[in-house]
Every structure is written in structure tokens, then in C-alpha cells.
Structure 1
């Protein structure tokens, strides 16, 4: 049985039936339904109710997440491994939207749009000397499909882009230099904007912390479009409050929602974006096409897309 943790729109349901005509397909709308039906499910599509129902899974072989980051699901990594369940994620589905949001945050910082809005609220007319993204040196920490899409957009604006990948040696990816995870810090003093799009794993916790932030020039900006906790938020706030960084725009935070008394809310040089890089959607959902494609591969015995490495965490 294929168990959907969401109610499918008719067109999507029809396609799933065409792809897997010999499988029963059911969907759930409550946690109790999920816990009952997962007992006989071979495949689960969608996150909702999955963790609550996982202990009841007896025949599950594959779980397709509708999220890019699967750190919450991997809290049950040992259970997934013990039950021999393949986990796949939605990597690539939201690259265009997330990259567009990252670029919007970056342009906001370079052109001081947040500060100009503050001045508008006080009816203050001032001319400013503003930096440009064109010609700036931007480093993207996390060189997956999202990082490459952000790089493409920045490059189109005339920015000079480099990346950071989990590898030992530096390399080239087309026109872009990609630094190894142990070598990129030497480049930070020449970096105008640091864009973080890392997955959340034990190895990436505070990957960008006080040590890295102190190496950036005082004129530099920081953007986090990846996962909360990969950046040390408090260290970033201190650097900005002390005038050692020009500003930041964050879509993700170590604690979400950001507590109402958190000083980031009132720091004018920080743009608080409430985890909307991937905005609310559906139905229909952007991940439907991936689910259909991966189900077809599963039925045909082909290698699945976006299989999560349980050791790496992504």
C-alpha cells in the first residue's frame, strides 16, 4: 500500500494510480488514521503524521519527505535504519524560490532597503552612498543545487561568486571556485557577502560562528537561507551591535519562532524573514512532480532520487 500523508488533488492522484496500478493508495487526515494505516504501508509520501506513526510501521520500505531538510525526521534515524527504510528528500524542488528569496535579502542589504523603509516611517529624506551587488565578492557556504542556483543569480547581477563544499581540496565548478571546508576561512577577509545554505547536521552546527564572523570585513553582510543553527545567531548579533559587520538578513533561526523578546527584532541592521524562503503552498504542491517521478522509479526498480545518506544527514 502507498500511504499519502496529505489529501491529493485529483490530477495528482490519477497520476499516482497510473504509475502504480497494482498498489492500493490511501490518504489520511488524522494522526490516528496514519498510525493505523501505516501498519500495512510499503511506501509513505509526505511528512505530516509520519514521526507520530513511524513506531507502528511494520512493512515500510520507503519514505519520501516533502522537505529539503530532514533533520527532524533523522531524530529517528536509528529506527529508520533498524526498519530498513529508505528516506528520500525534496532536494531541488524549492531551489528557484529559495534562491530568489536569498537574492532579495542580499539586494535588500546592499541597497539598504530595510533602513530606507525605517527612514520612510519617520518621513526622513536622505541621500545615501550605497554599495552594489555588481562587482561584490560573494561566498556561498553549501554548494549543493540550491547554492549553485544562488550563484547563478548573483553571477547574472555581476557579482563575483565562490562556494564552499564539504571536500578536502579546492576545485572548479564551471566559472566558480569552490573551496574545501578547511580552506575557505582564508578567503573571508576578502568577502563582501557570506550566504549560508547548509543542511542541519551535527557537523554543521555553528559552522559559521564567532571565529568565522570575526574574519569578515566590517562592511560585510551575512545571509542565512539554509537551516537554523548552522550560524551562531548570538555571535552574529554581537558582531553587528559592535559595528564589526554591516548587517544581516536571516530567514532561519536557531529558535523558531524567534522569541518576541529577542534583540534581533529591534536591531535595525538585521532583516528578520520568518522562514518564508519556502513559502506556504498548495494544494497543489510543488513536490507532487518529484513524488510521481520517484514513485515511477521505485515501481520500475530504479535508483531513487535524493536518497538521504544516514551518516551525512542529507
Structure 2
């Protein structure tokens, strides 16, 4: 089945709010894809009017504007995993096909993940606080570090990012296992991939549990009090996937009880993380503010996905990075 009807021209709406880097995209798309008209409305009434003409759209489509999207057949999400609430019931039921930006930041996110693992392995969160306090307190206890070459990592979610994280950890001599509901067969750097129902059985064996899973109805609250209790008291938790997969109250209680060695988090249930949250003050926790995807060429890569999907849409070819709307990913 084609993603667009034959003929044209086609109309794509750039929905507000728009990042400054995307302002030139409209001209580039129209120049590189003859037959495509790109609208950039700002006022609500103009957005509604543009949507009534639109075959496609880029951005977030609020529920109150969805009834105006009478012709809409393709919606490009600006992120790999949009914020909670993006996939509301009416959008899921709507016939529009949705694509996302998955795999766009794989190298950046995997490198950031490895930095978090290395920081925890070498006790850097504590030394960073010592530096701020101008305190010289070296810890020569052999148990103060985790030797990666003698450790086992469990990567939960072996998509593009998870697979790259496993490959990088394997280079340090770490034994890497994966958990994934879909992926089977051999993956470079992994000793084995387990199905999702094996998570509870593998958690007690891991020195590092690395979460790269998207936020879906099945992964929300995936790491709760019961699963944290299954982990080794010497294990570390790293989350660079999506914040709602980890219950932060349960994580704080587990750390307080000595159930974990430490944690490194780039994503959180509530963002920004509230200033009074106890995780900010813990010496065994490393926090980065949802920046794992930061790095060069990000905007050009996102434009490349949008352009390729626009080309495919106009040609009636299958789109890339199609989302299962019911699964939010």
C-alpha cells in the first residue's frame, strides 16, 4: 500500500513549536523535493487551517488539532522517543502513519552510556564531589572500583543503541548479555540475548544493568522496587533510555538500604529533576540532564530522515522508522 496518493503536489506542515535549526528545512525540502509545499504556521488558527490542507506533518500534533487533520497520512516525530502523552488514544486510532528519529543519535548515546559506566566503575561521582569541596581523600580499597574485565553487564533493550553499548563494553573485556523482546540471533559483543521474560532471572547476575529501552506501555515502571531488590548490592544501574522506565522513589529507597552500589541516570520520571530530589545529593549517583544524544551532526541527521521520508512519501514507497502507535515506538 502506498504512503501517498499518486499525483501531487503534496503539502507538509511544520508544526510549532519549532527549533531554530529547523527554520531552513522548509526551503531545503522545497528546493530538493520538487512538488512538495512546506507550510510553517505559528498562530493556532493558522495551524488548524494548514492542517486541513496537509498530507503530512512534522512535529507534535495536539489532540485538539487532530480533527483538522482530515487529509493527514504521515506524521514525522522530531525525536526517537517523544515525551509521555504524545501517543494519545485518538492519534493511535487515526489512520495517519507515524515515523520517528530512531537510530539518529546511536553513536552519541552509546558513548555517553559508556562514560557513565566508566564513571561508576572508578568511583568518579564521589571524587567529583570531593573536587567541589576541595577535599583530598584517595580511596585505595580494591573494592572501591569495579574491574570491567571481570564484570558482567546486562543491557536491557538491544536496539541500535543497546547493540552499540554492548560492543563497546565487550572491548573492555566485560561479559555482556542482553534482554530484548524481539531480537534473536547473534549480536556482536554479546554472549547471548534473552527474551523479555528472562529479565528477573538475569538481574541477580549482573554487575551493571544498562537500560536503553523506549517508553512503551510495557516498559513503564519496568525497574521497580521488586526488580531493584533482585539486583546485587554491588551492582550499578544506568538508564539512558526513557525516564518512566525507572521508579525513582524505589531507586532512592534501594540506595538508602544498600541494595545497589550506585546509579547513573540521564533520563527521569519527571524532567527537569526537581531541585529538592534526594538523588541530587547522593555521592553514589551521577546525573546528566537528558543529554546523551548531544553531539555533532545531530540536526543534519534529523533533516536527512525527514527528507528521505518525504521523498518516499511522495513516491509512494515504504517509509523508514515506522512506529507501532499502540506500542508508542
TM, length-normalised to structure 1:
0.89
Q: CA deviation at 1:140?
A: 0.7
Deviations 1:203-242 (A, max 9, x none): 1121122222212111110001011121122222111111
CA distance in 2 between counterparts of 1:198 and 1:309 reads 15
Q: Structure 1 residues 73, 296: closer, same or farther in 2, change over 3 A?
A: farther
Match of 2:4 in 1: none
Report SS of the residue matched to 1:173. coil
Matches within 5 A, 1:27-46: 27-46=40-59
Q: What displacement does 1:279 show?
A: 3.5
Instruction: Note if 1:24 corresponds to 2:34.
Output: no
Aligned-pair Cα RMSD in Å = 2.4
Q: Does the 8 Å contact 1:170/1:183 carry over to 2? A: no
Q: Tell me the distance in 2 between the aligned counterparts of 1:134 and 1:255.
A: 35
Range with bigger deviation, 257-266 or 25-34: 25-34
Bigger relative contact order (CA 8 A; separation at least 6): 2
CA deviation profile, 1:49-94 (whole Å, cap 9, x unmatched): 6556334222111000111113535442423523x11011111011
Contact 1:102 1:277 in 2 (8 A): yes
Asked whether 1:202 is paired with 2:212, we answer: no
For 1:184 and 1:235, the matched residues in 2 are separated by 18
Mean Cα deviation higher: 175-184 or 32-41: 32-41
**Secondary structure at 2:263 match in 1:** strand
Aligned counterpart, 1:172? 186
> Could you say if the C-alpha distance between residues 31 and 114 of structure 1 is closer, same or farther in structure 2, counting changes exceeding 3 Å?
farther
Deviation at 1:110, TM superposition (A): 0.5
Task: Give the Cα separation in 2 of the matches to 1:146 and 1:270.
Answer: 22
Conserved 8 A contact 1:63-1:85? yes
* 4+ residue runs over 6 A deviation: 280-283
CA contact (8 A) 2:217 2:327 kept: no
The answer for the alignment partner of 1:123 in structure 2 is 135
Counterpart mapping for 1:278-297 below 5 A: 278-279=293-294, 284-297=299-312
Q: How many residues align?
A: 310
CA distance in 1, matches of 2:300, 2:51: 22
- After superposition, the C-alpha distances for 1:151-203 in whole angstroms (9 at most, x for unaligned) are 12212222221110115x97533452111111132222221100011111221
Q: Do residues 239 (structure 1) and 254 (structure 2) align?
A: yes
Structure 2 stretches lacking a partner, 5+ long? 1-10
Inter-partner Cα distance in structure 1 for 2:35 and 2:325: 30
- 1:2 aligned to 5, 12, 17, which one? 12
In structure 1, runs of 5+ residues without a counterpart are none
Q: Check the 8 A contact 1:138/1:194 in 2, yes or no.
A: yes
In the alignment, what sits opposite 1:107?
118
C-alpha spacing 1:249/1:31, structure 2 compared with 1 (3 Å): farther
Whether the 8 Å contact between 2:223 and 2:247 is mirrored in structure 1 is yes
> How high is the TM-score relative to the length of structure 2?
0.86
Q: How does 1:1-314 map to 2 (within 5 A)?
A: 1-5=11-15, 6=18, 8=22, 10=24, 12-13=25-26, 15-47=28-60, 53-70=65-82, 72=84, 74-82=86-94, 84-120=95-131, 121-128=133-140, 129=142, 130-167=145-182, 171-176=185-190, 177-279=192-294, 284-314=299-329
